[in-house]
A = this chain, B = another copy of it.
Amino acid sequence: MADNGKKKMVEAITPMDEDFAKWYTDIVKKAELIDYSSVRGCMFIRPYGYALWENIQKTLDGMFKATGHENVYMPMFIPESLLNKEKDHVAGFAPEVAWVTIGGSEKLEERLCVRPTSETLFCEHYSHIIHSWRDLPKLYNQWCSVVRWEKTTRPFLRSLEFLWQEGHTMHETATEAREETERMLGTYADFCENYLAMPVVKGKKTDKEKFAGAEATYTIEALMHDGKALQSGTSHYFGDGFARAFNIQFTGRDNTLQYPHQTSWGVTTRLIGAIIMVHGDDNGLVLPPNIAPTQLVIIPIAAHKPGVTKKAGELEARLKNTCRVKADYSDNSPGWKFAEHEMKGVPLRLEIGPRDIENNRCVLVRRDNREKIEVSLDELETKIPEILASVQQSLFDAALARRETMTYACTDLDTLVDTAKNKPGFIKAMWCGDEECENKLKEIAGVSSRCMPFEQEHLADTCVCCGKPAKSMVYWGKAY
């Protein structure tokens, strides 16, 4: 029974090396993160998937509030005339929105789009409440869902509707707004590295890749197990473009009328996809302890023997203040339970059986490297946090080492094309700054510019593509 259980769970996953895309969708289903719905491109986020999002949300929300941001809620509909106010923005988004044309059985005079992002609504509100420099800065954020009419969709990575947070801020000066843009990118990077154990490259998007309507877009880019990049969070500086379009003006300290400077920044449920593809393995999900809904699962061994279930219950109650703990009392076999909680990526498992009880000890098993650690029951309160911290660090180290191994510096075009074709990962190469070269690299090597990293390196004097003088080093890659 134990082995059957184990096989049944494990067999259902396609090995990562055989078919990465299939491996991914197997995990999202088998780890019970999502269920497919009959609504094209939309998903049911199940309790375990949503618990992950709640932990992401709680942590980030605390970080936002600690830096003075306040939460608000804007309508989910944007009248067409409002969306049309900023021309670059509407050009970028209009082709991929959903339109409400009928309400309460009647055709609407003006159709409403379901928000793909809310700059326009925030600007409308800001135009009502910003009058003086004393009203600035405004540091608002909202947690909501948005809709973008994608043609092909994948759970968490690209869906018609997704959950996110969008910060929208207004500042007295361009300098302050730029600082905010970088501060929030830094917040995202800290969060990804310290909570998701996922190293990221911080950088600036090229003009071709920037957000519709932004003057500059900053990004954090992470490398997935299959060598593809995932844009994991973005932060935009808008200058006063929207402010002019929406006529938002304030009286400055010098008594002149001025336009405020704006930012926006967001991360989405995509981060759950990132966790899967950075840490997962052929046994399923592997969750970083700092974000895992359950950090420790207690599994009674030979639970029918006297005292075992009782002891498991005692340990569960005792460890509640030490970590996020759960005991599995179901009547499945231990083998089944091992496989199930491995599939769900629980960072640490505690096995407790009659002989363990006799000897006042238990066995702890790490999810990441399957190491078994025998521990006295008297030491649990100190050992468990130590091991969880070690799992967290190991996951980060492994992801960083993999990224470094899979990052290739290329100084000539042939090498770049060859690398792009044969070696999944990031490519670092110099660039002249022309969109033409970006287009050409996309065409012949299938890679797009991920970002111009803040930490620049001088690999060569000339653009890898056209040979003209290089302006910056760029990370290139295939991306989700």
Q: Which A positions have Cβ atoms within 8 angstroms of B?
A: 35, 37-39, 42-47, 50-51, 53-54, 70-79, 82, 94-105, 111-112, 114, 121, 124-125, 128-129, 140, 144-145, 147, 149-151, 160-161, 163
Contacts and interface: CB of A to CB of B under 8 A. Distances in A.
Contacts of A114: 76, 100, 114
Nearest first, the 3 A-B pairs at minimum CB distance are A104-B149, A42-B75, A47-B70
Contacts of A37: 74-75, 121, 124-125
B44 A73 contact: yes
Contacts of A147: 76
Copies in the complex: 2
A161 B144 CA distance: 13
Contact of A125 (B35, B78, B149): B35
- Summarize A's interface: helix, strand, loop or mixed: mixed
B105 A75 contact: no
A114 B44 CA distance: 15
B98 A100 contact: yes
Contact of A95 (B78, B104, B145): B104
A79 B145 contact: no
Nearest to A269: B73
A103 B99 contact: yes
A243 B150 CA distance: 32
Nearest to A330: B134
Contacts of A125: 35, 37, 44
A101 to B, nearest CB: 5
B102 A39 contact: no
B71 A47 contact: yes
